[in-house]
Amino acid sequence: MPAHIILSKMWSAALCFGALVIICITHWVYSWRNPRCNGKLPPGSMGLPLLGETLQFFSPNTSSDVPPFIKARMERYGPVFRTSLVGRPVIVSTDPDLSYLIFQQEGRLFQSWYPDTFTEIFGRQNVGSLHGFMYKYLKNMVLNLFGPENLKRKLLPEVEKKANINLSLWSCQDTVEMKEATATMIFDLTAKKLISYDQAKSTENLRMNFVAFIQGLISFPLNIPGTAYHKCLEGRKKAMKMLKNMLDERRAMPEKYQGDFFDYVLEELKKEGTILTEAIALDLMFVLLFASFETTSLAITLALKFLTDHPAVLKELTEEHEAILRSRENVDSELTWKEYKSMKFTFQVINETVRLANIVPAIFRKAMRDVQFKGYTIPAGWAVMACPPAVHLNPAKYKDPLAFNPWRWEGVELNGASKHFMAFGGGMRFCVGTDFTKVQMAVFLHCLVTKYRWKAIKGGDIVRTPGLAFPNGFHIQISEKNIGTGCKDI
């Protein structure tokens, strides 16, 4: 056969193959952008194949408003829209009714779900990824530590003591970076209650592993050396190794009873027929250590920033706490549970702080079956993302929503989540550490405003990626109101 005929056939075959590839890619892209649905999907864009709109979602911004990624799509598509994040199709809800439905229908229409990157970070058997009886079992375990009875009897006085010690130390320093300082204070307290960890007596710094972990927690999930996500996973590995070593040491010396949460976990592991495994127990300890200090330290730091910028709020807060001191027989008595529960304006300040903080910018669930909502279909198996900032900054519910105004909460009783407030989650997964967080914030503010004054030195600006962070910290100078013996007694 002549060479030119052979060459012509080869070109024809190559062109056919190329055309087939183009058709397949075109079909794939079309299918990606137009997912199948037994009904009408919410409007939106699926972005690029595989990548979706992940880069836009993680793009940093300095706004305290609804995240630009969300706000732009709300304006274009409405309160419920579709997108794709880290390779998964997602329905985003900024609608208070849908977000509330998602929480209330846990275990029936929706179940807890997080992207694979999150489960890689927190552990595949972490409490947030477990369902049904196992989740309730772990929740009851945690309530043994953070429940109301333990808060009244043990944690309230310990939190007050820790706050007083640290404030006294900080008043002897030229400046204090509040995010780092409060994170260390809270970590020291909770690590002691959870695992009897004392940094001063340890050869390894457990908290530094969590610092590496936090820096990559909400970052683009690229697991190669040098990236924040890779450092995050390495921080988790080191922290988990330390926890595993501690568990092994406790088992080797069962007579060395510490009276902490770790002892309680070990007793559960020993029980015949227990459903608790070592892997679940270690993941639980890891999540509790992280959750107990990082979010609360962010909230306290932001509260101090707000109080610094709003003297009228600080004045009323101070008056409330000074009134508590005046009503005592002994002004130096420990704070009582009754006094704590009387701090009405303090709780208004806390509510307003966490409303504006939006420390948890997204709460994920997964549809267990097709769900109909206002003419749209949420397909079974799709991820659903409730967006607290869109609820907390809704001008239809909150007048001048970006303003720090604790008085807006006057007369409002908040014992859980509602359609318009979900700073601590909602439904059966309402955060079990909520009361502990409020105790820490209220007691810290009590100790601060009754004994100290402060002034801002530098920092205080925020960035969201999409989680809240203080890139330059918030540096303040603290001094005693009544110059006494604080520093020289340390």
For residues 143 and 445, the model is more confident at 445
Contacts of 24 (CB under 8 A, 6+ apart): none
pLDDT band (50, 70, 90) for residue 250? confident
* SS3 sequence of 342-365: CCHHHHHHHHHHHHHHCCCCCEEE
How far apart are alpha carbons 189 and 163 in whole angstroms?
10
How far apart are alpha carbons 245 and 348 in whole angstroms?
43
91 φ, ψ (degrees, to nearest 5): -95, 125
Alpha helices, DSSP H only, in 105-155? 116-122, 132-146, 148-150
Q: Taking 50 as the threshold, does the pLDDT of residue 27 lie above it? A: no
Annotated binding-site ranges for heme:
431
| Burial status of residue 225 (CB atoms within 10 A of its CB: 0-12, 13-18, 19 or more) | exposed
Average pLDDT over residues 397-411: 95
How far apart are alpha carbons 83 and 81 in whole angstroms?
7
pLDDT band (50, 70, 90) for residue 32? low
Q: State both tokens at 207.
A: 């908290």
pLDDT in tens, 167-180: 999 999 999 999 99
How far apart are alpha carbons 246 and 195 in whole angstroms?
8
Is 12 strand, coil or helix?
helix
How far apart are alpha carbons 237 and 234 in whole angstroms?
5
pLDDT in tens, 110-157: 988 876 666 666 666 655 555 555 667 677 777 777 888 888 988 999
Q: Which CATH architecture has domain 36-118+360-392?
A: 2-Layer Sandwich (3.30)
* SS3 sequence of 399-437: CCCCCCCHHHHCCCCCCCCECCECCCCCHHHCCCCHHHH
Does an H or E element contain 114, and which?
Answer: none
Annotated binding-site ranges:
431
pLDDT band (50, 70, 90) for residue 202? low
Handedness of CA 127, 128, 131, 133 (dihedral sign): positive
Among the listed ranges 40-44, 212-216, 262-266, 308-312, which one has the minimum average pLDDT value? Answer: 212-216
Domain coordinates of the chain in residue numbers? 36-118+360-392
Is 460 strand, coil or helix?
coil
How far apart are alpha carbons 265 and 194 in whole angstroms?
10
Residue 139 identity: K
Q: State both tokens at 155.
A: 């944690």
pLDDT in tens, 340-368: 999 999 999 999 999 999 988 888 899 99
Q: Taking 50 as the threshold, does the pLDDT of residue 490 lie above it? A: no
Q: Which long-range contacts (CB under 8 A, 24 or more apart) does 12-21 make?
A: none
How far apart are alpha carbons 198 and 234 in whole angstroms?
22
How far apart are alpha carbons 151 and 386 in whole angstroms?
30
CA dihedral 343, 397, 42, 221 (to 10 degrees): -40
Percentage of the chain modeled with pLDDT above 90: 42
Largest distance between two CA atoms of the chain: 112
CA angle 337, 339, 345 (to 5 degrees): 120
Quickly list DSSP for 159-209: HHHHHHHHHHHHTTSS-EEHHHHHHHHHHHHHHHHHH---GGG-SS-HHHH
Is 235 strand, coil or helix?
helix
